[in-house]
Amino acid sequence: METDLWRRCSSCKGAIGFGARHWICNVSTCNRPRTGLFFCSVSCWEAHVPVMRHRESWALERLSPTREEWARAGTGTLPAATARPPEPGTPPSSPRSAASPRPLTTPPLSSAPPAPAPSRETPREILIVASKLKGYVRARSGMNTSESVLDVLSDSVRALCDEAIRSAQRDGRKTVMDRDFPRRR
């Protein structure tokens, strides 16, 4: 019945009803408001993993809002879903398969350990591959490259990365992407 429909499965297009159990992907790009992927089963979630090319991901079990919660929100943009409370007598997570023992569920975010704060004491290592840089300069101009160039270029790369990190944080992402770096004119 369409009136019991909260969302459709992003994989098989099956109905996910109000107050129903469903799964979402733990990867942040799958959980953005505009993307909003929801799956009716773990197998539907597994079908999207190779398409999205996730390196490491797992399904998070959720409970969709009730019809009353959805109506109270009024905008049709209720947050994705609330975490499903663990059933009495069940472990907090169960293995996906014998070959891959990653959990299907995770504890609520509030009980997860906080992310480590960025260290102000970042290592001052060389970020440039010296042999590749020297090979490029020699191929382009026939010139040699001084070792001191590596420090200057590493500082420039750090500055670009810091700017890209700020851009990703402004967008609410935990992944720095190519679009976060300023384009060369």
Q: Is position 86 within any domain?
A: yes
Q: Are residues 8 and 58 in the same domain?
A: yes
Asked if 25 contacts 59 with a C-beta cutoff of 8 angstroms, the reply is yes
- The encoded tokens of residue 50 equal 């190779």
Look up tokens 């499903």; give the residue: 84
Query: Does 70 share its domain with 140?
Result: no
Between 80 and 69, the more confident residue is 69
Instruction: Judge if 95 and 174 occupy the same domain.
Output: no
Q: How confident is the model at residue 52 (pLDDT cuts 50, 70, 90)?
A: confident
> Is 89's pLDDT higher than 60?
no
Helices 130-141 and 148-170, interaxial angle, to 10°?
A: 110
pLDDT for the residue numbered 50 = 78
Residue whose C-alpha is closest to residue 6's, from 77, 93, 86 = 77
**Total count of domains within the chain:** 2
Whether 63 and 96 map to the same domain: the answer is yes
Q: Does 164 have pLDDT greater than 90?
A: yes
More confident of the two residues 160 and 95: 160
Residue (of 12, 10, 5) closest to 34 by Cα position: 10
41-63 mean pLDDT:
83
140 and 61 fall within a common domain: no
- In the predicted model, is pLDDT for residue 86 greater than 60? no
Residue 103 exposed, middle or buried by CB count within 10 Å (0-12, 13-18, 19+): middle
Single pTM value for the model: 0.39
Q: What is the pLDDT of residues 2-19, one digit of tens each?
A: 578 888 998 898 999 888
The domain containing residue 148 runs over which residues?
A: 130-180
Give 151-166 as a DSSP string.
Answer: HHHHHHHHHHHHHHHH
Q: Which of 50, 80, 111 is the last residue of a domain?
A: 111
Q: Determine, yes or no, domain membership for 118.
A: no
Q: How far apart are CA 19 and CA 180, in angstroms?
A: 38
Query: Are residue 73 and residue 134 in the same domain, yes or no?
Result: no
Q: What is the pLDDT of residue 79?
A: 45
Per-residue pLDDT at 175 exceeds 90 = yes
Counting residues of the chain whose pLDDT is more than 70, the rounded percentage is 72
CB 52 within 8 A of CB 24: no
**Angstrom distance (rounded) from CA 14 to CA 11:** 8
Least confident span in 12-21, 45-54, 124-133: 45-54
